[in-house]
Amino acid sequence: MKRALLCVVLVGAACTEIQVPAPKGISSFKVRIDGFFKDNVGIVTKLDVVAPCAEQWDGGQKGVPDEVRGTLECPYAIARGEIQLQISASAVDAKGQVATEFNGPVSFRVVPGELTGDYNYRWAPADAGNVTGLVKTIHQYGPVRAWAEHAPPKAMFADAGFGGTVELMPPANEPWTYATGLSPVVYFEEPTLAKVQVPDGLDNRSSPLIGEFLTIGKRPETGMKLLQSCSHDPARNNQVVKMVVTGTDQSGFFVTDVTACRLLEDQGVRPAEPNEPCVNSRCEISQRACTTSAQCLRYGAGTYGHMYIYNYSFPEGLDTGDLLWTLSGSVQEFTSTTQLTFPSWTIAERVHLLPQEQWNKYLDQVPIVEVNGRLCGLDDAFNPFLTDALCGHNRRNLKMEANESGLVRMRNVRFPTEFVNCDQNSDQSVPFFCETTDPGGTWIWSSCSFGEVEPPQEQVERVCNHDCVVGLGAHAGQVCTEESTFIGFGQFVVELTPPGLPGTRADSSLKNRYIELNISLGAPTTHTMMLPALAPVALVCNFPAHYRFGDGTGVTAADPVIQSGQLVRYTLAPGETKVAVQAEGAPGLDARCSISVDPRVRMNLVTKDAVPDLEPHCREDDPDAEAAANCRALHAATFDVIGHLRQVQPARPRWVVLPRDADDICCRPGPGLSCPKPIKQCDSVSP
């Protein structure tokens, strides 16, 4: 007990001794993290460290000593989904001694990150000043600390108030002191573009670090480098992150990490990507020993290593092809496309200060992914499903998500042949439409309501919208765009190439989507399987051949000829169930055709900024003869398009391609026609 003397200068007064009470209660906590764990369906294992560290120890991940895990030299890998922390804490008083009289509740936090689980994973009662707790959390990266507080645990909320099991919360009458303590830093790997993007589960609508303000990359003056940690990609493991600007626009720019790890494809993602090739007894990517590709791994269709940086204005001083040291900003979602807002960046190399032949030195390293049936998420089956008409419509499609904001290529697409205004009440919007089943269990397009009654006016607009976009009713066989959507957002529908033979202009990504037919000079080859009645079909051959749709017989030299690589789209008439083909001339040993049911897959495209002179909304009967001729050329041609891929969840289709300039679009003109202005013709040797 401290004592103080109070002397009062008065005649005859004496000094009085006053007793000062000792401080009571707790002052703070000493906190320790005893381990990080991952629970895989009841099997609890230690959390993985980054791949370069694990490779230094015999036994890999299992051989890494506990005292090394989570250090700056051996950080934990950023985990997907929920992890567990074992936390110990001791309440201390003002003298720094354990407050053995403290038995109150202690709540936990983990920073950065978000707590998961019910309240029993958010607090624990102390016993003689000591407490241990198991905490469930997600989204840890960089320096991580655990907090212990004599404070209410972080609450969960639901529509009706508190969420979770309220009975598991600590007593409501606890006299909280808000004493707090922090653990020493435990290190996780720093975020990369891919780590920010990879979703926790099979859902492409959001990314895990929404709301976090973070920095990606390292400035050189720090003396540190941000390195890739690629468990299944030896060629990119431990490589320095290389972020390249792939395009700019009036509001920001796109960036791609060209060293982002190739990732194994999740189980349950369909259709499956092919196994990596087995080359010279080694798997091409993973470098495992192999004799066939069946012994190798399956990698996803993208790396997630792309992002749009929303700058609110044109990024002055930044050019396409520049290399960046760092990116900083707040992670946000806009129409389900991840972006950094309030951004800043540092430039490692301004390529436009170099000779012009070097301007693309980094841009040429950026992969351009093909948009095909497999990327769109179509099942590998001959007959289409209802939603096949809209590329990437399923929210579980991670193939598209892995390429969001990256450069993609669409080949041999058709532009709209008609525009229909479904906005009958002129409110500049039309209702969305969704898939559902009718009372008989048949899949149909209908409203996106959750039980509420759809107003008659909205029903009319909605039916008009989906009939146009999907190609039903009066718009069957047409590539149709809803006009008010085009006017409001500049986006219009294009139709992807149908399934068919490899080496042609058809899409060969899904083998079961088409049937191959060997062709000969003698008797005609007939597709024997019955084709669906009145279905749109696509025929393509790698050798000139006569063809006839009907009952599979009767093809003669008088029937039309399909040229090598030519794509014939046809809608079966009543009674037509088969196709017959017969070679014209002496065919080679590999002369083949293929027949498929055309799923008429659609994507959205926006060209108004990249090619403002291109007018997709045109009329073949335009009074201006030149405009009419240009429109006929546009409708007859097919196009190859490169651009950035963005997701717009409310749109139909949901995915949009944004070309950067006129060089990103080329044309294959229709018979006897030229390309529409101002589009250049594609290289004639490309399929």
For residue 46, pLDDT over 80 is answered with yes
For residue 12, pLDDT over 60 is answered with no
For residue 5, pLDDT over 70 is answered with no
Among 425, 240, 209, smallest CA distance to 323 is for 240
SS3 647: strand
For residue 556, pLDDT over 90 is answered with no
For residue 212, pLDDT over 50 is answered with yes
pLDDT of residue 523: 67
pLDDT of residue 589: 79
Instruction: Give me the mean pLDDT over the 616-622 stretch.
Output: 95
For residue 353, pLDDT over 90 is answered with yes
pLDDT of residue 157: 86
pLDDT of residue 454: 86
Would strands 369-370 and 407-413 be described as parallel, antiparallel, or unpaired? parallel
Specify the DSSP element, H or E, that contains 238.
none
Among 540, 518, 499, smallest CA distance to 590 is for 518
Q: How confident is the model at residue 2 (pLDDT cuts 50, 70, 90)?
A: very low
CATH topology of domain 511-597: Jelly Rolls (2.60.120)
- The tokens for 128 are 């003689």
For residue 522, pLDDT over 90 is answered with no
The Cα 562–Cα 540 span in angstroms is 7
pLDDT of residue 21: 53
For residue 10, pLDDT over 50 is answered with no
Out of 20-24, 63-67, 653-657, which region has the weakest mean confidence (pLDDT)?
Answer: 20-24
For residue 553, pLDDT over 70 is answered with yes
Residue 60 region, left (φ>0) first, then alpha (ψ -120 to 50), else beta? left
The Cα 134–Cα 108 span in angstroms is 9
* CATH number for the segment(s) 210-263+300-367: 2.40.50
SS3 85: strand
Instruction: Give me the mean pLDDT over the 200-221 stretch.
Output: 91
What does 538-549 look like in DSSP terms, one character per residue?
Answer: EEEESS-EEEEE
Burial of 435: CB neighbours in 10 Å, binned 0-12, 13-18, 19+: middle
Instruction: Give me the mean pLDDT over the 359-367 stretch.
Output: 97
How do residues 446-477 score in pLDDT, each as one tens digit?
A: 999 877 888 999 999 999 999 999 999 999 99
Amino acid at position 395, single letter: R
Residues paired with residue 3 on neighbouring β-strands, in sequence order: 19
340, 496, 532, 543, 671 from 537: Cα distances, Å? 43, 14, 9, 19, 20
Instruction: Give me the mean pLDDT over the 20-32 stretch.
Output: 78
How do residues 276-328 score in pLDDT, each as one tens digit?
A: 999 999 999 999 999 999 999 999 999 999 999 999 999 999 999 999 999 99
pLDDT of residue 113: 92
Chain-centroid distance, C-alpha 279: 30
For residue 110, pLDDT over 70 is answered with yes
Instruction: Give me the mean pLDDT over the 245-260 stretch.
Output: 97
- Show me where the domains of the chain are located: 28-187, 210-263+300-367, 376-496+602-677, 511-597
pLDDT of residue 6: 45
- The tokens for 165 are 């099991």
SS3 content of the chain, % helix, strand, coil (to 5): 15, 35, 55
Q: Are 402 and 282 in contact (CB under 8 A)?
A: no
pLDDT of residue 528: 66
Among 510, 524, 227, 207, smallest CA distance to 381 is for 510
What does 467-534 look like in DSSP terms, one character per residue?
Answer: HHHHT-GGGTTS-EEEHHHHHHH-EEEEEPPPB--TTSSSB-SSGGGEEEEE--SSSPEE--SPPPTT
Question: Quick one: how many helices (H) and strands (E) in the chain?
Answer: 7, 42
For residue 7, pLDDT over 50 is answered with no
Helix spans in 581-675 (H): 625-636
For residue 53, pLDDT over 70 is answered with yes
Among 116, 88, 119, 90, smallest CA distance to 103 is for 90
What does 210-230 look like in DSSP terms, one character per residue?
Answer: TT-EEEEE--GGGT---B---
The Cα 554–Cα 551 span in angstroms is 8
For residue 4, pLDDT over 60 is answered with no
Q: How confident is the model at residue 529 (pLDDT cuts 50, 70, 90)?
A: confident
pLDDT of residue 1: 43
SS3 146: strand
Instruction: Give me the mean pLDDT over the 167-191 stretch.
Output: 94
Q: How confident is the model at residue 14 (pLDDT cuts 50, 70, 90)?
A: low
pLDDT of residue 19: 61
Residue 503 region, left (φ>0) first, then alpha (ψ -120 to 50), else beta? left
Residue 296: how many CB atoms within 10 A of its CB? 22
For residue 115, pLDDT over 60 is answered with yes
pLDDT of residue 640: 97
For residue 261, pLDDT over 70 is answered with yes
210-263+300-367 shares its CATH topology with 511-597? no
Amino acid at position 95, single letter: K
